[in-house]
Amino acid sequence: MYAEHQKMNPVLEKARELDIATNPAPEALFDAGNSGFQIWCTPDDHPAGWESIPMTQGAFSKPCEYVASVQWGWEGETITHLLLSTEAFALSELRDRDRYTGHNRLEDLAWAKEKIRWLFAEAEVPLLPIRTDTR
C-alpha cells in the first residue's frame, strides 16, 4: 500500500503547494489529506449556479466555499480510480434542506473534474478514472 500512496504523492505535494488556506493565488483551491484532497471555490472560480453565493475568507487565504472531496479508490491493494463527491453546502443553505442537499450536482461534478484534471497535469501524474460517490 505504501508504494501505491507514493505514486500519488506528487498530486498531494502539488495540492499542498496550492493550499487554499495559505496560498492566495487564484489557482490555489485545494486542501490535501493523506489519501486525497478537497476542492474549494472562490467568487472568481466556481461551478455554475454559485454566482450569488456570499463567500467569506475566515481562516483561509481568500473568500471561499467547499465544493468537493476526492479520495483514492482502491481495488485490493491498488489505487485504480478517484472517488469524487460534491456537497454544495453553501447552495443548500439557501434552500429547503429537506428537498435540496446539493449532493453531486452535475454542475459541481463537471467543475470539480476540470480541477482534478488540471491538478494531475500540473503534478505530471497520469489521471486515473474518476468515479462519482453514489452514497
Indicate the pLDDT class of residue 120, thresholds 50, 70 and 90.
very high
Residue spans of the domains in the chain: they are 2-132
101 φ, ψ (degrees, to nearest 5): -100, -20
pLDDT digits (tens, 9 = 90+) for 36-57: 999 999 999 999 988 888 899 9
69 φ, ψ (degrees, to nearest 5): -125, 135
Q: Which three cell numbers stand for residue 76?
A: 485490493
Give the DSSP H or E segment for 7.
helix 2-17
pTM: 0.92
Q: Which three cell numbers stand for residue 55?
A: 463567500
Indicate the pLDDT class of residue 134, thresholds 50, 70 and 90.
confident
pLDDT digits (tens, 9 = 90+) for 66-105: 999 999 999 999 999 999 999 888 877 665 455 456 789 9
